[in-house]
């Protein structure tokens, strides 16, 4: 009797510790998926870096285009001519200059045509468009990876709930098997099997529960939360099942993919590079204006008593006549690079179409598998209930009940895993179709 009391005390202690170790249920006041994604779009490191890249690009464009504005400079010089220049003129030696001299020069230049400035002007729009498209690409990727991490955590909670239900059921079976063994109705085999099954279930539950911490850390990293900041999620399982269906059309259109728009913009840049190489044959033209205050005197104290200003205005034309064939080769290189970029663009079109076909196939197959596993789960529940009744009546052996229990648990866990696969493949398909719109998260997710 003391042995059984001691065993019962240890069992109760194990059940109590298991209950205490359970993860708190998910908060109903936490962040929904649209709220979480909206937070990530504002705080995700990748998105914020792209936004900074866009701001840097805007500043670089303004810096490049500043060359079209007048360039004004001032220079000041003070000279002490220790030894003045002497030149023979006829039979006389003439000394030029004064011991002290100074000048203040103001100059202004205006670019009228320069291929570097013209390239900056023509390429400014392409650079802005490329930066904007790169930012949008990162925003879409953030929506996808944050949503997948969100679904992964929620379905992990569902798996824990299933394991908790199985634990409660298995603990009852353990108690029943022990009671029958103590009453001498069965041998200790059923009791030992129940004990093994219960230990395995606790191990599985602990493993799944332990994975939550890492999954939360990963989600915080993606969304831009600090690791010490609390994050709770809000969801309804029924809504996850509803999200598994793709209601929008499945018509594939390359132009809807922002990645394709970015590739076309990058190809347009190679076309501009070809024109830039051709512009090397065109002369550069600049206008200038100079105004120079000259001061000179024998005495330093009287140096600035009188000025002798000069001024000039004019044009400068730089004509590159011959550079050893460099410009011709640069044009040929630019054209070859443009041809290569065009081949890359055509190949990228095929890659995007293949990505769509793969995403569509994965979605359909995972959706079919999810429906199949849903039916299997319902069938496994029915089988388990039947065998449980038969076991209670002594018709079925305990090993049959263990097998039915294992099949039920496997069917339930596989069903939730299949749902996660459906939701993930749906996100991949929506991205392949260009249907993820970060600007309207509530309608795109």
CATH number at residue 174: 1.20.1600.10
Establish if 403 belongs to a structural domain: yes
Using CA atoms, how far residue 219 sits from 111, 155, 212, 216, 319, in Å, is 53, 14, 10, 5, 60
Establish if 102 belongs to a structural domain: no
Establish if 309 belongs to a structural domain: no
Query: Structural domain tally of the chain?
Result: 1
Helix (H, G, I), strand (E, B) or coil at 61: helix
CB-based contact 171:15 (threshold 8 Å): yes
Contacts of 151 (CB under 8 A, 6+ apart): 240, 420, 423, 424
The residues facing 113 across adjacent strands are: 285
Which structural domain range is residue 148 located in? 18-70+113-285+324-444
How far apart are the C-alpha atoms of 118 and 386, rounded to whole Å? 82
Using CA atoms, how far residue 327 sits from 120, 274, 285, in Å, is 19, 11, 19
Give residue 8's pLDDT. Answer: 36
Q: Which two tokens stand for residue 213?
A: 């911490």
What sign for the dihedral angle of Cα 417, 419, 424, 429?
A: positive
Which of 116-140 are b and which e, b meaning 16 or more Cβ less than 10 Å from the residue's Cβ?
ebbbbeebbeebebbbbbbbbbbbb
The HSE-up count of residue 428 (CA atoms within 13 Å, CB side) is 19
What sign for the dihedral angle of Cα 140, 143, 146, 150?
A: negative
Establish if 297 belongs to a structural domain: no
**From the centroid of its chain, how far is CA 107?**
49
Give residue 95's pLDDT. Answer: 82
Work out the number of other CB atoms within 10 angstroms of the CB of residue 370: 23
How far apart are the C-alpha atoms of 49 and 29, rounded to whole Å? 31
Give residue 23's pLDDT. Answer: 45
Give residue 249's pLDDT. Answer: 62
Give residue 14's pLDDT. Answer: 41
Give residue 312's pLDDT. Answer: 95
- Using a 10 angstrom Cβ sphere, with 0-12 exposed, 13-18 middle and 19 or more buried, the burial of residue 163 is buried
Q: Where are the alpha helices (DSSP H) in 224-325?
A: 237-243, 258-278
Helices 2-21 and 115-182 pack at an angle, to 10 degrees, of 160
Give residue 372's pLDDT. Answer: 93
Establish if 107 belongs to a structural domain: no
Mean pLDDT of successive 10-residue stretches along the chain, which has 445 residues: 36 38 46 91 93 94 92 95 85 84 95 91 93 95 94 90 87 78 72 82 90 92 88 79 75 92 95 93 94 92 90 93 90 96 96 95 94 92 89 81 86 90 93 88 58
Give residue 229's pLDDT. Answer: 85
Establish if 222 belongs to a structural domain: yes
CB-based contact 250:359 (threshold 8 Å): no
CB-based contact 147:39 (threshold 8 Å): no
The residues facing 233 across adjacent strands are: 31
- Using a 10 angstrom Cβ sphere, with 0-12 exposed, 13-18 middle and 19 or more buried, the burial of residue 426 is buried
- Using a 10 angstrom Cβ sphere, with 0-12 exposed, 13-18 middle and 19 or more buried, the burial of residue 377 is buried
Establish if 301 belongs to a structural domain: no
Establish if 365 belongs to a structural domain: yes
How far apart are the C-alpha atoms of 277 and 283, rounded to whole Å? 13
CB-based contact 309:317 (threshold 8 Å): no
């Amino acid at each position: 009797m003391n042995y059984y009391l001691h065993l019962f005390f240890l069992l109760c202690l194990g059940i109590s510790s298991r209950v205490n170790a359970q993860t708190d249920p998910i908060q109903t006041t936490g962040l929904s998926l649209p709220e979480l994604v909206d937070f990530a779009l504002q705080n995700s490191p990748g998105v914020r870096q792209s936004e900074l890249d866009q701001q840097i690009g805007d500043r670089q464009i303004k810096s490049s285009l500043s060359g079209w504005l007048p360039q004004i400079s001032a220079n000041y010089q003070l000279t002490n001519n220790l030894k003045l220049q002497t030149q023979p003129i006829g039979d006389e030696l003439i000394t030029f200059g004064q011991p002290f001299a100074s000048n203040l020069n103001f100059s202004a230049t205006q670019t009228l045509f320069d291929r570097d400035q013209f390239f900056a002007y023509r390429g400014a729009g392409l650079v802005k468009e490329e930066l904007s498209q790169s930012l949008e690409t990162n925003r879409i990727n953030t929506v996808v990876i944050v949503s997948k991490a969100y679904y992964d955590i929620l379905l992990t909670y569902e798996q824990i709930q299933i394991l908790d239900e199985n634990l409660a059921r298995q603990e009852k079976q353990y108690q029943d098997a022990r009671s029958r063994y103590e009453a001498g109705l069965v041998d200790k085999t059923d009791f030992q099997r129940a004990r093994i099954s219960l230990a395995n279930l606790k191990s599985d539950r602990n493993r799944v529960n332990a994975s939550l911490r890492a999954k939360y850390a990963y989600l915080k990293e993606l969304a831009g939360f600090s690791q010490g900041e609390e994050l709770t999620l809000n969801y309804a399982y029924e809504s996850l099942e509803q999200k598994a269906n793709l209601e929008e059309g499945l018509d594939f259109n390359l132009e809807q993919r922002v990645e394709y728009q970015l590739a076309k913009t990058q190809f347009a840049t190679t076309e501009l590079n070809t024109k830039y190489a051709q512009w090397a044959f065109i002369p550069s033209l600049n206008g200038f204006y100079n105004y120079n205050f000259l001061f000179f005197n024998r005495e330093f104290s009287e140096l600035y008593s009188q000025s002798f200003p000069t001024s000039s205005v004019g044009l400068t034309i730089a004509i590159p006549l011959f550079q050893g064939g460099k410009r011709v080769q640069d044009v040929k290189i630019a054209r070859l690079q443009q041809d290569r970029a065009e081949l890359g663009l055509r190949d990228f079109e095929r890659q995007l179409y293949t990505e769509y076909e793969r995403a569509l196939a994965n979605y359909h197959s995972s959706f079919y598998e999810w429906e199949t596993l849903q039916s299997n789960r319902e069938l496994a529940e029915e089988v388990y209930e039947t065998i449980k009744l038969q076991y209670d009546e002594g018709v079925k052996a305990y090993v049959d009940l263990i097998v039915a229990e294992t099949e039920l648990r496997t069917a339930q866990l596989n069903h939730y895993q299949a749902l996660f696969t459906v939701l993930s493949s749906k996100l991949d398909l929506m991205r392949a179709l260009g249907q993820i719109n970060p600007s309207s998260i509530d309608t795109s997710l």
